[in-house]
Amino acid sequence: MVNQLEFKKRRDFGQVINDTFTFMRQNFKPLITTYFTFCGLFVLASMAAMLMQQYKMVNIINTGIGNRYGKGFGIGSVYGIEYFLSLLFSMASYSSMTVAVLSYIALYVRKGNQPPATDEVWGYFKYYFLRVFGSSILLILMLVVALICCLVPGFWLAPFVAMMFPIMVLENGSLGYAFSRSFKIIKDNFWVTFGTLVVVWIIVSACMSMIVLPTSLLNMVTMFTSKSPHMNVTLTMITTVLQSLCQVFTIIPVITISLVYYSLVEQKESPGLKERISNFGNNEKLVDTRPEEY
């Protein structure tokens, strides 16, 4: 029997990346079930809003191409209700995915590295969703302002913001507590945390691009090679659907930041080591016997 992955241990950069995909492989079916159970409705709503927005944009662009005066490109025509609905549901979709995966991980650790049942995840999900969703709106606005003012503060804040969500769910912390706690945890480990997240997001972006790129390129080729240049509505809609379905890949960075969280907490406070010592000789609880790596 394959040993289930242990979260409460110190890891270096390579171990975090490797264990991210190990956890995905060991828990693929229950994780995917959890994702579509708790995020499916938000993904569909986001997809519907994006389809309406893209259909509107294609018509505006095609009208502008066919009109030498470029009429139809007004700000009001571009940023309509569809645009804001797509933003809202996209944020709700990402928040629901974050809460669902973090709830799964919290229960997985609590149950001694055993996959939780769906009704157990639901108990966590309904408790934390609104807290994380509301906090995500404020944190995204903060990041946007930081990026607009100067790119460096926005990139510098990103790892701290990413760490806040595991703290909110795994430690049942408020936004204020998570904000201060993230700085305390990441202190002296900023570059390792930042680099780990960058690498994982590059991997995720590459996976998503491989799925979406063919239809996007075909749409561009069709647009510039046809006798009357125009964007293909069907290809644009297919690309939008694929983009929505590719949101499932964002499970990976959530697992990564959770592993980073447990690793940094173990490094500073050693709760996992203390737990193993307290459970020494207790055969009733399954404990990972692999050696701690320091």
Long-range contacts formed by 62-69: CB under 8 A, 24+ apart: 62/230, 62/231, 65/229, 65/230, 66/228, 66/230
What pLDDT does residue 54 have? 85
CA distances to 124, 125, 161, 241 from 132, rounded to whole Å, are 12, 10, 12, 26
**DSSP track, 200-266:** HHHHHHHHHHHHHHHHHHHHHHHHHHSSS----HHHHHHHHHHHHHGGGGGHHHHHHHHHHHHHHHH
* Residue labelled with tokens 């944020």: 91
- Alpha-carbon distance of 269 to 35, in angstroms, equals 31
- Alpha-carbon distance of 32 to 198, in angstroms, equals 24
Q: How many of the other CB atoms lie within 10 Å of CB of 98? A: 26
Is 27 in contact with 274 (CB distance < 8 Å)?
no
- Alpha-carbon distance of 121 to 99, in angstroms, equals 9
- Alpha-carbon distance of 180 to 164, in angstroms, equals 9
- Alpha-carbon distance of 121 to 117, in angstroms, equals 7
What pLDDT does residue 205 have? 93
Is 249 buried (19+), middle (13-18) or exposed (0-12) by CB count in 10 A? middle
Q: Which residues contact 71 (CB under 8 A, 6 or more apart)?
A: 63, 64
Is 233 in contact with 58 (CB distance < 8 Å)?
yes
Residue 107 CB-half CA count within 13 A: 21
The mean predicted confidence, pLDDT, of the chain is 84
Over residues 107-139, the pLDDT tens digits come to 999 998 899 999 999 999 999 999 999 999 998
Over residues 30-87, the pLDDT tens digits come to 999 999 999 999 999 999 998 988 888 888 777 765 454 445 455 555 677 888 888 8
What pLDDT does residue 293 have? 44
Q: Return the H-helix or E-strand segment holding 173.
A: none
> 168 or 153, which is more confident?
168
Over residues 193-232, the pLDDT tens digits come to 999 999 999 999 999 999 988 888 887 777 777 666 667 7
Residue 14 CB-half CA count within 13 A: 1
- Alpha-carbon distance of 22 to 104, in angstroms, equals 15
Q: Identify the CA nearest to 166 among candidates 7, 276, 290.
A: 7
